[in-house]
Homo-oligomer: A and B are copies of this chain.
Amino acid sequence: MAAAGRPVLGLDIGGTKLAVGVVASDGTVSGFLVEPTRREEGHEIVLRRLFDLGRRSVAAARAEGALGAGEDIAAVGIACGGPLDSRRGVLTGPLHLPGWIDVPVVDLARREFGVPAALDNDATAAAYGEYRFGAGRGTETMVYLTVSTGVGGGAVINGRLHRGAAGNGGEYGHIAVQPGGRPGFGNRAGTLEAYASGTAIAQRATEVVAALGSTGRSSVLAALPVIRAEDVSSAARDGDPVAREIWDETVEILASAVADLVNILEPNLVVLGGGVTRSGALLLDPLRRHVYAQAMPPAAAAVRIELAELGDTVGVVGAGAVALDLAGSGAPITLDAHV
């Protein structure tokens, strides 16, 4: 228990970016560093760079005074997209890191840093970060939904991070919102991710704009060489009717999935994070209306819906939150230490 209270190192392995930082027991981040993943270099080279980045982060945190002279990090937390096996600490085959099959990242980190290490699905870790240090502080049961390039999420149930039987906690992007609809991952069509992810919003808008000619309607989106999700939200905000329709449909689909999560888990709080939620009230206001109208009345009366607070550091803070638990338990290894 001597380790409790000491800062930890959080490592976030994204498809395009690596992010690292030293996380104190109050959730503050020091030595926050980001660099491109360059996943095509393969896991050996990328993890070497990740660990080096982690060492630079510790040095920077020490320079900032976040670590005392002679004080070292107490544990390492790693967040990565799934599928992964958090109990064994192995990346089994993350969708966003092609070819990273059965990489024992926890063992590697433990050997590199000489402290306990833990691995969690990035959205699961982010859920825990928001619960411990963000929008979810003080709640009991919280659902976190992140909407960015993809859609993911996680839950803290009665104060405990939910990891589930497969150790990925939950894959909210792969719940069905329109059975038989747009292609999603694997055999499942019509998933939330296939409609409401940033990628899907951009694709849907591109399809609608391509078909505009035959309708006689026009849209500011038609002038763009490439349409991104943020173009759709900003054009919708500016009153473009075509963008507005795409946006409204997106919000309705997201709200239906959130109402499902509310009906299934009866949380005290739903936290919405990820790039698409930077649209703020344009998303949150109508989404709240839809959810409160659709969820079962007692569940609707019990739940708040809020935007995430941690922003770009959420992955690092989430990984750090998991590592703080590990350090606080005094457990020497990851196996069963965080389940």
CA distance A302 to B83 in the complex (A): 13
Residue numbers in B under 8 Å from A265 (CB-CB) = 162, 164, 170, 264
How often does this chain occur in the complex, in copies? 2
| B299 x A166 contact (CB < 8 A) | yes
Residue among B167, B178, B296, B303 making CB contact with A174, cutoff 8 Å: B296
Please, how many angstroms separate the alpha-carbon atoms of A188 and B256 in the complex? 9
Interface of A is mostly: loop
Q: Which of the 9-residue segments A62-70, A179-187, A198-206 touches chain B?
A: A179-187
Give the residue name and chain of the B residue nearest to A304 (CB).
B165
Report A307 CB to chain B, min CB distance, Å: 19
Q: Is the CB of A170 within 8 A of B297?
A: no
Across-interface contacts of A261 in B (CB, < 8 A)? 264
* A259, B188: Cβ atoms closer than 8 Å: yes
Tell me the residues in window 264-281 of chain A with beta carbons closer than 8 Å to chain B beta carbons: 264-268
A165-B259 CB under 8 A given contacts A177-B176, A297-B83: no
- Contact at B296–A264, with CB atoms within 8 Å? no
**A263 to chain B: which residues have CB within 8 Å?**
170-172, 174-175
Bound-state Cα–Cα, A253 to B180, Å: 11
Query: Is A169 part of the contact surface with B, judged by Cβ < 8 Å?
Result: yes
Interface set, chain A 137-154, CB cutoff 8 A to B: 140-141
Q: Is the CB of A141 within 8 A of B165?
A: yes
Chain B residues near A256: list those with CB within 8 A. Answer: 176, 179
Task: Give complex CA distance A133, B137 in Å.
Answer: 36
Q: How far is the CA of A140 from the CA of B164 in the complex (A)?
A: 9
For residue A168, CB closer than 8 A to chain B, the reply is yes
Given A165-B303, A168-B298, A171-B299, 16 other A-B contacts at CB below 8 A? Answer: A82-B298, A157-B157, A157-B158, A163-B266, A164-B267, A166-B299, A166-B301, A168-B266, A170-B263, A174-B263, A176-B177, A179-B252, A185-B296, A186-B296, A188-B259, A264-B265
Which 7 residue pairs are nearest across A and B when measured between Cβ atoms? A164-B266, A165-B302, A166-B298, A166-B302, A165-B268, A83-B298, A175-B260
12 CB contacts below 8 A, A to B, read A82-B296, A83-B298, A92-B298, A141-B165, A158-B160, A164-B266, A164-B302, A170-B265, A171-B263, A176-B177, A187-B293, A264-B264
